[in-house]
Amino acid sequence: MTRPALQLCFHDHCFDGVASSATFLRFYREKIRNLDDAQLGFRGLAHKAGALFDAGVFGGDENVIVDFRYAKDPRLTWWFDHHQSAFETPELKADFEANQSGRVFWDPAAKSCTRFIARVCAEKFGFDPSPIQELVDWAEVIDGALFPSAKMAVELREPAMQLMLLIEATKDAALGPKLIRELSHRALSDVLREPWITEPLAPLLERHHQIVAQVGERLDVRSGVATFDVADLGLDNINKFIAYARHPEALYTVSVTRSPSRSKISLGSNPWRQGERRHNLAQMAERYHGGGHPAVAAISFPPEQLEQARAVAQQLADELRE
Q: Are residues 185 and 226 both part of a single domain?
A: no
Tell me whether residue 214 is in a domain.
no
Q: Are residues 81 and 153 both part of a single domain?
A: yes
Tell me whether residue 203 is in a domain.
no
**Which has the closest alpha carbon to 250: 229, 234, 227, 231?**
227
Q: Are residues 160 and 266 both part of a single domain?
A: no
Q: Which pLDDT score, from 0 to 100, does residue 1 have?
A: 58
**Which has the closest alpha carbon to 129: 140, 118, 137, 139?**
118
The beta-carbon contacts of 94-103 under 8 Å, at least 24 apart in sequence, are 95/70, 96/70, 101/77, 103/77, 103/78, 103/79
Domain stop point among 132, 163, 198:
198
In the chain, % of residues over pLDDT 90: 93
Q: Are residues 124 and 92 both part of a single domain?
A: yes
Q: Which string of b and e fits 69-89 if b means at least 16 CB within 10 Å?
A: bbbbeeebbbbbbbbbbbbbe
The mean of the pLDDT values for the chain is: 95
Segment 114-135 shows an average pLDDT of 98
Q: Are residues 225 and 191 both part of a single domain?
A: no
- Residue 286 belongs to what domain range? 219-321
Q: Are residues 79 and 155 both part of a single domain?
A: yes
Lowest mean pLDDT among 95-104, 107-116, 131-140, 227-236: 227-236
Segment 82-103 shows an average pLDDT of 96
Domain stop point among 198, 230, 260:
198
Q: Are residues 72 and 192 both part of a single domain?
A: yes
Q: Are residues 85 and 131 both part of a single domain?
A: yes
Number of domains in the chain: 2
Give Rg (Cα) of the chain. 19
Q: Which pLDDT score, from 0 to 100, does residue 60 have?
A: 96
pTM of the entire predicted model: 0.91
Q: Are residues 41 and 129 both part of a single domain?
A: yes
Tell me whether residue 208 is in a domain.
no
**Which has the closest alpha carbon to 18: 183, 204, 144, 132?**
183
Q: Are residues 72 and 167 both part of a single domain?
A: yes
Question: Residue 270 pLDDT more than 70?
Answer: yes
Residues whose CB falls within 8 Å of the CB of residue 42, separated by 6 or more in sequence, listed in order: 7, 8, 9, 10, 21, 176, 177, 180
